[in-house]
A and B are shown apart, each in its own frame.
Chain A
Amino acid sequence: MSSLPKRKKTNPFKNNGYKATDAEDSDEFPTPPDHTVVYNLLEVEKPFKKAKYKNSKRIKPTRQHIAAEKAKEWPNDFPTFWSIAQAPSLKPNKKYCDITGLHAFYKDPKTNLRYHNAEIYQAIQQLPPSAEQTYLSLRNANVVLR
């Protein structure tokens, strides 16, 4: 009987749907690899890879399907996925304060921030420089330099 503490089994490939084989379930240590032999890695059996595993190339996102359709020529009045998209609303979008989320009645011409009232305008004026860009980025209105 060995006095060694029982080795905790760790399975680094558990997330890949890997199932432990019977041999590994036993408490024996695996035999260490023989470092004197030069292996051809292509021929070495890789137990963590499923032999039947096949990377399915069938998954093609909808985006690609539609882009492929778009490349074809279509008659002008023929309905297609992209031509039937609903137009923007006739009513103007509601505008909300960038700081508080309340209804925005005003817009600061300097920073382009929308704000609710004078109190919040005070806060905007005390903002450190370029901090307004983080607020603007919340509604994708920030200036991106490329």
Chain B
Amino acid sequence: MSKTLILDNGSFSIKAGFVTDEACKEFPNYVMKTKQSKMVYVSDLIDKTTDLSGLYFHSPFENGYIVNWDVQLSIWDRLYEDSALNCTPNDTNLVLTEPIFNPPSIKTNLYELIFEEYEFPSLISLSASEFVAKSNYLDLFQKERSVFPDSMIVVDIASIQNTFNRIDVGGLTLTNFLKHIVSYRSWDIRDDYYIANDIKEKCCFVSQNFNYDLKNFKDQSYNNKYHVNYVLPDFTSSKKGIIKISENSENLKDNEQILSVKNERITVPEILFYPSDIGINQGGIHEAVLESIESCPERIRGLLANNIVVIGGTSHLPGLKDRLEKELRKLFPESFDVGVFIAPRNFSWQAGKSVSLNLTQNTDQNNLTSFLSKSEYQEIGSSRTVEYFK
């Protein structure tokens, strides 16, 4: 049997690995150029340098869609090298995630590259959420909750198509906002996307009661347990910053540069719920969920409200699950149970793996997708391939 590669092509990092692997490897989906030495590093090769201040980032993605193909190609070339994945595209089946509502003009480019430039013998390409819905990994949540097994439903995405909602807030929006307010208040980190992203991942959390927490942050004394000290990396001894709780502020060394992160910890993730705070005239994620569920038939709304799965990197902000449940509780009728589940890390990669395993073992009863082989592609061409994956 030939190998199958599962490639979750996220806008921040690529999660890749073979079907036989237990876990996937993560690669940054960026080409980076250093400020001092003017060297160019592709994806994970950035680990070889310590010159990390003021990196220039070239991303293949814009608004979640691949637009810069030259950058994407060089990253994929790096992925298939021996030292990274050791993959030969000629005899490897590819399972690829693509953004939801990918425009056909981008899709045709994508399929051309996969079949003509890399010559993969076969391909499945779906959005990450479709993989999650089609995988049997959703059982995972059932065991967690010990409820009646038939309360879990998998809705065929194709049948209820007009239930999507999009909010123009993502992980990048949050990082950029954090970068702005930190640069205005203390250190100038406008050029350091790398650090700003690290601060966001380590310090930010979703507040359960925003106005109450905001008052707690007002106390400017050293003992305020809400404030954290982020020790900025010096790029010689440390590549990533570390957290020091404010209480131990006497233990801080002199040569360390401290960034005190205060109410940014909660105001940045709050944008997810109130995008209007930064001038995006849209409702928050709780309102998007409500609207999606209300556009479904009435008899399944209660079931859907009980089975909301949140995927993606931003969903790992601490406290998001409880806050989303709390906000949705206010919006839904009393008879509904609200259940929100945060998918574990690399969940869509695992889902892609389970879909491809199902296909090869033919265990999936209602088989909705299948591999598209290269010969079929050559028969129908790239523009009709777009209609194939639907």
Q: Chain A interface (Cβ within 8 Å of chain B)?
A: 14, 17, 56, 58-62, 65-66, 68-69, 77-81, 84-90, 93-94, 139-140
Q: Give Cα distance in the complex from A69 to B287, angstroms.
A: 27
A61 touches B288 (CB 8 A): no
Q: Which residues of B contact A78 (CB under 8 A)?
A: 161-162
Chain A CB within 8 A of B76 CB: no
12 pairs from A and B in contact (CB 8 Å cutoff): A56-B70, A59-B67, A65-B65, A65-B105, A66-B103, A69-B105, A78-B162, A79-B101, A79-B161, A84-B101, A86-B291, A88-B276
* Minimum C-beta distance from A54 to chain B (A): 10
Q: Which residues of A contact B63 (CB under 8 A)?
A: 62
Number of interface residues of B (CB under 8 A): 32
Question: Which parts of B261-309 form the interface with A (CB within 8 Å)?
Answer: 274, 276-277, 279, 281-284, 287-288, 291
Q: Is the interface of B mostly helix, strand, loop or mixed?
A: loop
Q: Which residues of A contact B62 (CB under 8 A)?
A: 61-62
B282 touches A81 (CB 8 A): no
Q: Per-residue 0/1 for B135-173: is the Cβ within 8 Å of any A Cβ (1 yes, 0 no)?
A: 000000000000000000000000001101111100000
Our count of residue pairs bridging A and B at CB distance below 8 angstroms stands at 80
Q: Which residues of A contact B281 (CB under 8 A)?
A: 88, 93
B282 touches A88 (CB 8 A): yes
**Cross-interface CB contact of A62 among B67, B69, B165, B276, cutoff 8 Å:** B67
Which residue of the partner chain A has the closest CB to B163? A79
Q: Is the interface of A mostly helix, strand, loop or mixed?
A: loop
Q: Chain B interface (Cβ within 8 Å of chain A)?
A: 38, 62-63, 65, 67-70, 101, 103-106, 109, 161-162, 164-168, 274, 276-277, 279, 281-284, 287-288, 291
Q: Which residues of B contact A87 (CB under 8 A)?
A: 282-283, 291
* Minimum C-beta distance from B120 to chain A (A): 20
* Minimum C-beta distance from B99 to chain A (A): 10
* Minimum C-beta distance from A127 to chain B (A): 24
A89 touches B287 (CB 8 A): yes
Q: Give Cα distance in the complex from A88 to B283, angstroms.
A: 5
Which residue of the partner chain B has the closest CB to A17? B38
B67 touches A86 (CB 8 A): no
Which residue of the partner chain A has the closest CB to B283? A89
B103 touches A69 (CB 8 A): yes
Which residue of the partner chain B has the closest CB to A54? B70
